[in-house]
Structure 1
Amino acid sequence: MPLAATGDLVGRAAAARSAVAAFNIITLEHIEAVVAGAEEAGAPVLLQVSENAVTYRRGNLLPLARAAAAAAEAARVPVALHLDHVQSDDLLRRAADAGFSSVMYDAARLPYADNLATTRAAAAWAHSQGLWIEAELGEVGGKDGRGPLDAHAPGARTDPGEAHAFVTDSGVDALAVAIGSTHAMTERTAALDHDLVKRLAGALDVPLVLHGSSGVPDGELTAAVAGGIAKVNIGTALNIAMTGAVRGFLTGHPEAVDSRKYLGVGRQAMVEEVARLIGVIGTPRTTAAA
């Protein structure tokens, strides 16, 4: 089916008090696994390419983006492409032509005034290109002499009043918030601030996004969605599944040299984790599913 639009998928999820899963992709196996897992779950999904992934691809966005678009167009469920954690204005301006319907612009490392100014400019440009834009607000700097904390720094919490002002003044379409998760966690021990989720949902008129979800236990994820999270970003969980499966295969088959053998096992492990996590998040099944 044609590429879906991120804004449509997230907007429908928010209206239904549910969430859509957004998985970060690095390889073709990631792409195939996310689509297959979403088809198994019968739910829409987002394929996310981060700026770090583009850097890993030697700065080339199009090969991965075109593979993702081709897989999305062949999928039996709605799939949208999202460009994640963009700090480079050059990369931002490549988004629309590469098939992305949305971008997460990340200026949270900057002092609040600079974050707001650069995000406002990015949002104006994105909207002129028909792109849906997400931003991030963690904890504003100045406390105990610290600089600003991004939304996933340990201890960061997004203030609802500051978040309301930031969204109003920047014009973004969604906001990633700090509620207790951290990027790249390999153990699922994060405890989320569910009261804060509810207060943020009440203060904002745009969907809330949870980053760093791989370190969040199943029950915490389900509760966060019930409290108002509408987009759940997941990356490390897929890498854990893939790496564990590949490592196990190679340990048991030290003679193996055909990469299809171990990559296939890794891909299937990711398929199962994608389908499982979509079930945990509770994304409603789509009528477009086969």
Structure 2
Amino acid sequence: MPLTTTGDLVARSAAARGAVGAFNVITLEHVEAVISGAELADRPVVLQVSENAVAFRYGRLLPLARAAVAAAERAAVPVALHLDHVVSDRLLRQAPDAGFSSVMYDASRLPYGENLAATRAAADWAHAQGLWVEAELGQVGGKHGAPALDAHAPGARTDPREARAFVADSGVDALAVAVGTTHAMTERTAALDHALLKSLAAALDVPLVLHGSSGVPDAELTAAVAGGISKVNVGTALNAAMTAAIREYLAAHPRAVDSRTYLAVGREAMVRTVAAILGVLDPGASGGDGTA
């Protein structure tokens, strides 16, 4: 079916008090796995390409983006394309022509005033191009190999009053909030600050996004969605599933050289992971066993 938009999927999820799953993709196998997992769960999905993934692909956005669009247009469920954690204005400006309906502009590393100014400028430009814009306030640590901030460090959590002003002054369409998650977690041990999330949901009139969700246990994810999260970002969980499956296959088949054999095993592991996570976000969906 034709590409849908991230804004539409998030709006529908928010109206239904649910959350759409948004999965970061790096290779064509990731793209195919996310779509197949969404079809298995019979749920819409967002394919996300991060600036880090673009850097891995020699700084070229179009090869992966074109593949993602082609795969999405043949999907049996609605699929949107989102450009994630954009720092470079040059990359931001490539989004509309590459098939993206939305971007997460990330100036969260900057002091509040600079973050606001940069995000406002990015949002003004993006909205003129018809793009839906997500930003981040507070710091969901763990990006670029940096250690996570202590949960109680200044700026590590999103302040509701500051967030309300930031959304109003920046004009963004959604806000990623720091409520206890960390990027690149390989163990599901994150404990979310649900009282803070409740305060943020009450203070803001835009959808809330949870980054670093690979480290969040099922029960915490379910509670986060009930508490107001409308978009759940997942990346590391896919990489962990793929890597573990490939390691196991190669250990059992040490003479294997055909990359299709082990990539297929890795891809199927990601399919199962995607379907399971979508089942947690919406237990009523078909497919998946409700365990991520």
- Contact 2:22/2:233 (CA < 8 Å) preserved in 1? yes
Alignment of 1:96-245 (within 5 A): 96-138=96-138, 153-155=149-151, 156-245=156-245
Contact kept, 8 Å, 1:38 with 1:275, in 2: the verdict is yes
* 4+ runs deviating over 2 angstroms: 283-286
For normalisation by structure 1, the TM-score amounts to 0.93
Conserved in 1, the CA contact under 8 Å of 2:209 and 2:231? yes
**AA at the equivalent of 1:167:** V
- The separation in 1 between residues aligned to 2:184 and 2:109, in whole angstroms, is 18
Aligned length: 275
For normalisation by structure 2, the TM-score amounts to: 0.92
- Does the 8 A contact of 1:177 with 1:209 survive in 2? yes
How far apart, in 1, do the equivalents of 2:185 and 2:240 lie? 10
After superposition, residues 55-66 of structure 1 pair within 5 angstroms as: 55-66=55-66
How far is 1:284 from its partner? 6.4
1:1-40 matches, cutoff 5 A = 1-40=1-40
Task: Provide the rounded CA distance (Å) in 1 between the counterparts of 2:171 and 2:69.
Answer: 27
Are the aligned partners of 1:43 and 1:283 in contact in 2 as well (CA < 8 Å)? Answer: no
Cα distance in structure 1, aligned partners of 2:219 and 2:108: 28
Q: Which consecutive residues of structure 1, in runs of 5 or more, have no partner in the other structure?
A: 140-149
Deviations 1:189-247 (A, max 9, x none): 00000111111011000000000000011100010000000000000000000000000
**Distance in 2 between the 1:254 and 1:197 partners?**
48
Deviations 1:115-154 (A, max 9, x none): 0001000000000000000000006xxxxxxxxxx9x733
User: What is the alpha-carbon distance in structure 2 between the residues aligned to residue 267 and residue 119 of structure 1?
Assistant: 36
Deviations 1:257-279 (A, max 9, x none): 00000000000000000000000
The separation in 2 between residues aligned to 1:54 and 1:258, in whole angstroms, is 26
One-letter code of the match for 2:231? K
Distance change (3 Å), C-alpha of 1:122 and 1:284 = farther
Structure 2 CA distance for aligned equivalents of residues 204 and 228 of structure 1? 10
Distance in 1 between residues matched to 2:204 and 2:284, nearest whole Å: 23
Q: Deviations over 1:80-136 (max 9, x none)?
A: 000000000000000000000000000001111110001000000000000000000
For 2:176 and 2:230, locate their aligned partners in 1 and report how far apart those are by CA, in whole Å.
10
Please give the alpha-carbon distance, in whole angstroms, between the structure 1 residues aligned to 2:168 and 2:5: 23
Q: Find the counterpart in structure 2 of residue 90 from structure 1.
A: 90
SS of alignment partner, residue 153 of structure 1: coil
1:281 Cα offset (Å):
1.2
- Assess if the C-alpha contact under 8 Å between 1:25 and 1:31 holds in 2: yes
> Root-mean-square deviation (CA), in Å?
1.3
Please tell me whether the aligned partners of residues 154 and 180 of structure 1 are also in contact (alpha carbons under 8 angstroms).
no
- Indicate yes or no: 2:39 matched with 1:73: no
Task: Give the Cα separation in 1 of the matches to 2:264 and 2:175.
Answer: 36
How far did residue 282 of structure 1 move?
Answer: 1.3
Identity %: 74
Shift of 1:285: 4.8
| Distance in 1 (alpha carbons) for counterparts of 2:272 and 2:116 | 39
